[in-house]
A = this chain, B = another copy of it.
Amino acid sequence: MSEVRVIEVRQSVFEDNNRDAQRLRDQLRAEKTCLINLMSSPGAGKTTMLKGLARALEGRVRLAVMEADIDSTIDAGAMIEAGIPAIQIHTGGMCHLDADMTRQGLEQLDRTQTDLVILENVGNLVCPAEFDTGASFNVTILSVPEGDDKPLKYPLMYETCSLLIISKMDVLPYFDFDPQAAAAHARLRNPGIEIVEISARTGEGMERLADWFEEKTAQWNK
């Protein structure tokens, strides 16, 4: 995986992250780049979902991926092996990305060749929800093995997202997970949240998911 480009981002020098995030969002709007910030617990299936999504979006949306991690280049390596333009962002131990760290990653991509950038944030349901990255939309994944009570315990994550992806639906028979309860818990905090159930392994829901990403990209870049 020697071809993985690793960007060691520095912590933001901006005191007001919200204002900086809005500045980045305005810039991305003007240059017609949709940025989607993907968040979840560690191991919820962000990277596997992204590989399936990239296949489903081929020929429809020009995609690039920024993989954020505290350490390792595993995820960007997996993307590049799957033929997806990707860079690895190292957060220097930080548990989240802010807008300036996101900008440092974006500067390494050729955005004239990209309609949609997906930022795979650090696996964490708490801190990433607190920091606006400048993204056009926030998306979260809840995997079946984690349990349907997570929206009750990590409310801010669900409040800040436009889409909840329920992943690993193929293992539903082996867990006490009620997708309707998960949806109801998420909607307690965010009545407008959209929900797509998927299994990256069986392909269930991946077409509907690709449609959502394509629509949002078109909506943002119009």
Q: Does A187 contact B (CB under 8 A)?
A: no
B43 touching A74, Cβ below 8 Å = no
Give the docked Cα–Cα distance between A93 and B149 (Å): 17
Residue-wise, chain A 93-133 has the 8 Å CB interface mask toward B (1 for contact) of 10100000000000000000000000000111111001000
This chain: how many copies in the complex?
A: 2
- Partner among B72, B127, B149, B175 whose Cβ is within 8 Å of the Cβ of A152: B72
- Contacting B at CB under 8 A, from A128-164, are 130, 143, 145-147, 149-150, 152-156
A71 touching B152, Cβ below 8 Å = yes
Give the docked Cα–Cα distance between A143 and B42 (Å): 10
B153 touching A72, Cβ below 8 Å = yes
Provide 20 A-B residue pairs closer than 8 Å at the C-beta atoms, listed in order of the A residue.
A42-B125, A42-B146, A42-B154, A43-B143, A43-B147, A69-B153, A70-B126, A70-B154, A71-B152, A74-B152, A93-B130, A93-B156, A124-B124, A124-B126, A124-B127, A126-B127, A143-B145, A145-B145, A145-B171, A171-B175
Residues of A with Cβ closer than 8 Å to B?
41-43, 69-72, 74, 93, 95, 122-127, 130, 143, 145-147, 149-150, 152-156, 168, 170-171, 174-175
